[in-house]
Structure 1
């Protein structure tokens, strides 16, 4: 099957699904598990939550050129998530974690398999959406 056709037909729906799962996951952690989000978690939410609406509407209307609006948000979100993850898992940014706000940014609420944390999950979601949007951009250009 032609990858360009597959990406054009399914890219928006897959991107929307990833954003929806990430949003519901973050709401589960904060509202059900009662994990208080830190300042960097809020920035990641600010960039992820609107993607559910933007990508949902784009998928319903089959507007394939949404990558122009989605990519800047996902790249910024991936950068913030990577910084947050490095703050948690390395000593490079540890001193900045305590000045993050009332909730320190280096708190590991979850630590699955020794490396999967909440910022890591957000990073994976932002990167996957970015990859899908870049593929849609390349398919659209061809």
Structure 2
């Protein structure tokens, strides 16, 4: 389970880099915050898998939880369920813009929410399987 959580975090991190660097889509502010939680998760979980640290959930789950909360907020903004705050001098793309999709159809906020959810669930399952 722990290795699966690492793979999800790694793929999400590489995907974010692909969208930004290869596809040239500038991340919005909320995307940057989500990256700030996902990128360290990939590193922390890689080390935990390498040293078989089954107690990694203690410090990785808070990272995943905070990233999940930001991704949920971002998803709600994207879906139009909550209004985006008005910023008179905001720079960069809007956090609720239709342009924050990958391959023209998949909304990045929902992908991020799914990735954080998967990492959190896998961490909880790995904790239970290790009886910690």
Partner of residue 59, structure 1: 49
User: Equivalent residue of 2:97, what SS?
Assistant: coil
Cα offset, 1:140, TM superposition: 2.8
Question: TM-score, normalised to structure 2's length?
Answer: 0.89
1:102 aligns with 91
> RMSD of the TM alignment (CA)?
2.0
SS where residue 65 of structure 1 aligns? coil
The runs of at least 4 consecutive aligned structure 1 residues that moved more than 3 Å come to: 111-114
Aligned length: 129
The 3 A distance-change label for structure 1 pair 117 and 28 is: same
CA distance in 2, matches of 1:137, 1:50: 19
Residues 79-134 of structure 1: CA deviation (Å, up to 9, x unaligned): 1001101101114223x1x43931211122317796x3111111100000000111
Any stretches of 5+ residues in structure 1 without a counterpart? 1-10
More helix by share: 1
What is the TM-score with the length of structure 1 in the denominator?
A: 0.83
Name stretches of at least 5 consecutive residues in structure 2 with no aligned partner: none
Q: Per-residue displacement from partner, 1:52-97 (whole Å, max 9, x unpaired)?
A: 1100011011111100001111111111001101101114223x1x
